[in-house]
Chain A
Amino acid sequence: MIGVIKAMGTTFKTALRRPVTVQYPEIHLPLPERERAFPLLLWDHDVDEPFCTGCQACERACPVECMTVTMRDNPKQKEGTSKRRKIVDTFWIDYGRCMRCNICVEVCNFDAIAMNNTWSGIERSAYDRRDLVMDMDELMSKSMAGQVTRWTPDDGSDEK
């Protein structure tokens, strides 16, 4: 019966400890900087246009083929306000397919795509899976508001 008494003692002891529950919807724990929620497009505030040139490198590298990108000539380049010759025309990401592997961020040559590391990237439930297909406005709204920026690992190591 020693084991039985020991087990009762263990449960009694844990009952006296502080509960570990976090009341989730009320309390959002701070997310680490590296949090990898869904990918977002970044906005170049200097020139007021997206970083993305629509080169489709991410689309080719995506393991689950959740992205669709098209490209067009950049009108701002003719005006002389921007150095980008090409600019993204349309950009869709199907968040229902995305497996958040970070490969699109790694392959991007223009640092135009980043993983959303805020809670807005995690709480993404929807009633219809078609609601999870994000177009360019939705993809860029967070970075236009300045909530998401590209981060580099704090030790400065190479991401490529």
Chain B
Amino acid sequence: MTVLLGYAFGIAWVDALIRLLVVVLTMTVLVMLLTYLERKVVGRIQQRIGPTRTGPAGLLQPVADALKLLGKEDLMPHTADKWVYQFATIAFFVPIFLGFVVLPFAEDIGVRVGLPLGLFFVIAVSSVGIVGLLMAGLASDSKYALLGGVRAIGQMISYEIPLVLSVLAVAMMTGSLDLREIVNAQDKVPNAVWQPLGFFLYLTACTAEMARRPFDLPVSESELVGGPQVEFSGIRWSMFQLGEYANLIILSAFGSIMFLGGYAWPLAGDAAWPVQVLLSIVKTFLLILVFMWIGATFPRLRIDQLMSFAWKVLIPLTFVQIFITGLVQTYDLPDIIMTVVSGGALVLAAMVVRRNVSKTGRRPRAERVAYIRARQAARAESRPLS
């Protein structure tokens, strides 16, 4: 659709402008819808009913929120780094929005479908947003924000790796980085069936990448009261919220494309385009619902557990997945072997993790206390009380 629209004008910059407009408008509307949906879903899980006051069934709640946020004063700490602080919000949500550009929602519907390096593009731009969090954390001149920013960096960089590696296994199966080709290759069986382990890893890494529970350490409300966003207010804060939910949409859509067969499965890709779009949307929302369900269920992890989970559990498992995929691809083994081994590895990993989830690289408490005492003693020695 939009592709046709752009070509109709035939002018490059009009084309680009229209595409950008489509991205921004779709994302904003979708994000508004998602904030409403999250409230309703979480409300149901908690035996509440969620928003009901604004509009029919509370549908206008996001609009009311947006208006409220627009009306709020744009506060900035006196000692904040002005430019970095103000630029941080933009640096956070623009790269996230960019990820939307290459996602195909039907055979030829999308903002810029058919990019040969589509997968690479999504991965590349989605990790740039981290910079915005770090900027916000450093510039706010608040200790909570600083800790949140540092946590965000550590977490996002760590979880970027299993995320990339788990989708890499999919790309290996298809032999292409073009998202359209990946979708079309799944017209019979979605990749999640062949690679249950990869799908699980992707979901886990995504949850961390979006900083949602149980990996919401950067924004942990009960410890850091909002992390990097703690000093932001009004419209700037809403930008963070926008970016977070946009991330949720994009990674869910991306996940549905990579693992659930996007628009192709189960109608084999020759359905009419509205049906294909509907399929993509349904799959995306299914994933979003799963993320919300996870988010409403779990407490959050501690930072060392989080990191050790990424480096000691997720990354080795992605290697397992890649290894199996490579083996099957190289020796032309039947695909079912991949399913069995991958599923087996998932169950095995679950059993191992069950027993050892609290075992991290953290030293025993006695050593930590000894370290603190030694440092205090050393400090007292070097700086005697005057």
Interface residues of A (CB under 8 A from B): 1-4, 7-8, 10-12, 14-15, 17-21, 23
Distance, CA A18 to CA B294, complexed state (A)? 21
Other than the given A1-B353, A2-B354, A12-B293, 13 more pairs (CB < 8 A) read: A1-B354, A4-B298, A7-B298, A8-B297, A10-B297, A11-B293, A11-B297, A14-B45, A15-B45, A19-B43, A19-B49, A20-B47, A20-B48
Interface residues of B (CB under 8 A from A): 43-49, 52, 293-294, 296-298, 350-351, 353-354
Distance, CA A19 to CA B48, complexed state (A)? 5
Q: Would you give 16 A-B contacts (Cβ < 8 Å), ordered by A?
A: A1-B353, A4-B298, A7-B297, A8-B293, A8-B297, A11-B45, A11-B296, A11-B297, A15-B45, A17-B47, A18-B47, A19-B49, A20-B48, A21-B48, A21-B49, A23-B52
Distance, CA A12 to CA B44, complexed state (A)? 9
Q: Which A residues are CB-close (under 8 A) to B45?
A: 11-12, 14-15
Distance, CA A10 to CA B350, complexed state (A)? 19
6 closest pairs, A vs B, by CB?
Answer: A1-B350, A11-B297, A15-B45, A19-B49, A15-B44, A21-B49
Q: Which A residues are CB-close (under 8 A) to B353?
A: 1
* Closest CB in chain A relative to B58 CB, distance in Å: 11
Closest-by-CB residue of B relative to A25 is B53
Q: Which A residues are CB-close (under 8 A) to B46?
A: 14
B47, B52, B293, B294 — which one has the most chain A CB atoms within 10 A of its CB? B47
Q: Which B residues are CB-close (under 8 A) to A18?
A: 47
A12, A14, A15, A17 — which one has the most chain B CB atoms within 10 A of its CB? A15
Task: Flag if B47 contacts A19 (CB, 8 Å).
Answer: yes
Distance, CA A2 to CA B49, complexed state (A)? 29
Distance, CA A86 to CA B126, complexed state (A)? 83
* Closest CB in chain A relative to B272 CB, distance in Å: 34
Distance, CA A23 to CA B297, complexed state (A)? 25
Task: Flag if B47 contacts A14 (CB, 8 Å).
Answer: yes
* Closest CB in chain A relative to B338 CB, distance in Å: 22
Distance, CA A2 to CA B46, complexed state (A)? 21
* Closest CB in chain A relative to B208 CB, distance in Å: 15
Q: Which B residues are CB-close (under 8 A) to A21?
A: 47-49
Distance, CA A4 to CA B49, complexed state (A)? 25
* Closest CB in chain A relative to B139 CB, distance in Å: 37
Closest-by-CB residue of B relative to A5 is B350
Distance, CA A46 to CA B298, complexed state (A)? 65
A19 contact from B44, B298, B350, Cβ within 8 A: B44
Distance, CA A11 to CA B49, complexed state (A)? 15
Closest-by-CB residue of B relative to A3 is B354
Distance, CA A1 to CA B52, complexed state (A)? 36
Distance, CA A18 to CA B43, complexed state (A)? 11
Q: Which A residues are CB-close (under 8 A) to B47?
A: 14, 17-21
Q: Which B residues are CB-close (under 8 A) to A19?
A: 43-44, 47-49
